[in-house]
Amino acid sequence: MVDLTDLLTDLADESAQLDDLVAPLPAADWARPTPAPGWSIRHQVAHLAWTDHVALLAATDAAAFFATVSAAPDPARLVDHGAEQFLAPPAELLTRWRAGRTALAAALAAVPVGEKLPWYGTRMSATSMATARIMETWAHGEDVADALGVARPASDRLRHVAHLGVRTLGHGFAAHGRPAPTAPVRVELTGPGGDTWSWGPADAADRLTGPAQDFCLLVTQRRHRADLALLATGPVADEWLDVAQAFAGPPGSGREPSATPAGEHGVRT
């Protein structure tokens, strides 16, 4: 089992990496559009500040958390509305985001072992919440990096994102209105350091292999399967590449494939 203290350290490090990327930006660059339609860099950071805030409520005041859900003027725009609520000038937004993530880490560290926190359509432990926050921070950090035209170095923190991606296999199918598969899938990913990360029975007929970073881009819907070096063997693994979704809620729209020539990535077998 992953230690919560280690998870919170990795969450702090993931947040700091993105903070280092956006803090020096001039105000004009915060308005740069990101791959998420209608969202600038400022929206991306505001979204993280908002989700940290509602996660803090989930960890400290469940009634207040549910109140934010019931008070939403349009449930279909809950995420967009949350980001808009937290929009502010860059310096103010940075201060809010930093304070919020610090408060959330302290709250998660204090959650009693075994207690489940409310979340959108589910409940989760403090360790699962911390893992989800790492996933969200990394994914939205990718959006910011794309907007700036920079590539961030991959780290072993991706293991948390990959683990969440594997655990949510059934959720991805269900979110897209498809029955959850019963056949197991063997997942073997190559980490940034060249080591292999694996899940599932070694003798499973369905298999998914490739770079860990590509898998994380898939399950966070930051890249189309056609643009990733992931190899799916078997019908369940192949279909998974179309519906993978590590985040809660309704199915995401995903990303369109780039101009990469067909056949170079996302091989089907």
Q: What band does 34 get if pLDDT is binned at 50, 70 and 90?
A: very high
Q: Are residues 115 and 30 both part of a single domain?
A: yes
Task: Answer yes or no: do 32 and 142 share one domain.
Answer: yes
Q: Note whether 189 and 227 are within 8 A (CB).
A: no
Identify whether residues 107 and 186 lie together within a single domain: no
Average pLDDT over residues 110-122: 93
3-state SS assignment for residue 8: helix
Which of the residue ranges 42-51, 61-70, 159-168 would you say has the lowest mean pLDDT? 61-70
Does residue 260 register a pLDDT over 70? no
Domain check: are 11 and 144 in the same one?
yes
Q: Quick one: how far is CA 256 from the chain centroid?
A: 18
The answer to whether residues 156 and 211 touch, using CB atoms and an 8 Å cutoff, is no
pLDDT value, residue 251: 82
- Judge if 186 and 106 occupy the same domain: no
Say if 72 falls within a structural domain: yes
- Mean of pLDDT values over 217-228: 97
Residue-wise DSSP of 119-130: ETTEEE-HHHHH
- What does the buried/exposed string (b/e) look like for 134-154 if buried means 16 or more CB atoms within 10 Å of the residue's CB? bbbbbbbbbbbbbbbeeebee
How high is the pLDDT of residue 268?
Answer: 29
The alpha helices in the chain, defined as continuous H runs, are 4-22, 41-60, 62-70, 78-85, 90-109, 126-148, 158-167, 169-175, 212-219, 235-243
Residue 172 pLDDT grade (very low, low, confident, very high; cuts 50, 70, 90):
very high
Q: Is residue 251 part of a domain?
A: no
Tokens of 79: 């995420």
What does the pLDDT read at residue 85?
92
Residue 67 lies in a domain: yes
Is residue 106 pLDDT above 60, yes or no? yes
Domain boundary among 148, 175, 209: 148
Whether 142 and 184 share a structural domain: no
* 202 assigned to some structural domain: yes
Q: Give the total number of structural domains in the chain.
A: 2
Q: How confident is the model at residue 23 (pLDDT cuts 50, 70, 90)?
A: very high
Among 103, 124, 148, the domain boundary falls at: 148
Which residue range forms the structural domain that includes residue 194? Answer: 157-241
Work out the average pLDDT over 113-140.
Answer: 95
Same domain flag for 104 and 210: no
- Give the pLDDT confidence score for residue 93 in this predicted structure: 98
Structure tokens at 228: 């990733």
- CATH number at 108 reads 1.20.120.450
pLDDT digit string, tens, across residues 231-240: 999 999 999 9
164 and 87, same domain (yes or no) = no
Q: Give pLDDT, residue 267.
A: 34
Q: Which residue has the tokens 């709250």?
A: 107
Q: Which of 129, 148, 167 is the last residue of a domain?
A: 148
pLDDT tens column, 10-19: 999 999 999 9
Q: For the domain that residue 179 is a member of, what is the CATH number?
A: 3.30.1050
Q: Which residues contact 258 (CB under 8 A, 6 or more apart)?
A: 224, 226, 227
Pairing of strands 206-211, 117-119: unpaired
Pair (38, 162) in one structural domain:
no
Count CB atoms within 10 A of the CB of residue 103. Answer: 16
User: Would you say residue 237 lies in a domain?
Assistant: yes
Supply the pLDDT for residue 76.
Answer: 76
Percent of the chain past pLDDT 70, that is, above it, reads 96
Q: Is residue 265 pLDDT above 60, yes or no?
A: no
* 10 and 82 both lie in a single domain: yes
Rounded to 5 degrees, what are φ and ψ at 198?
-135, 150
Residues 157/136, Cβ–Cβ less than 8 Å: no
Separation CA 136–CA 152 (nearest Å): 15
Residue 161 located in a structural domain: yes
Let me know whether 34 and 56 are in one domain.
Answer: yes
Task: Looking at the structure, tell me whether residues 19 and 125 fall in a common domain.
Answer: yes
pLDDT in the model for residue 259? 66
* Domain contains 250: no
- CB-based contacts of 194, cutoff 8 Å, min separation 6: none
Q: What is the average pLDDT across 126-151?
A: 97
Burial class (CB in 10 A: 0-12, 13-18, 19+), 217: buried
Asked whether residue 262 carries a pLDDT value surpassing 50, the answer given is no
CA distance linking residue 253 with residue 224, whole number of Å: 10
Residue 69 has pLDDT above 90, yes or no: no
Domain for residue 119, yes or no?
Answer: yes
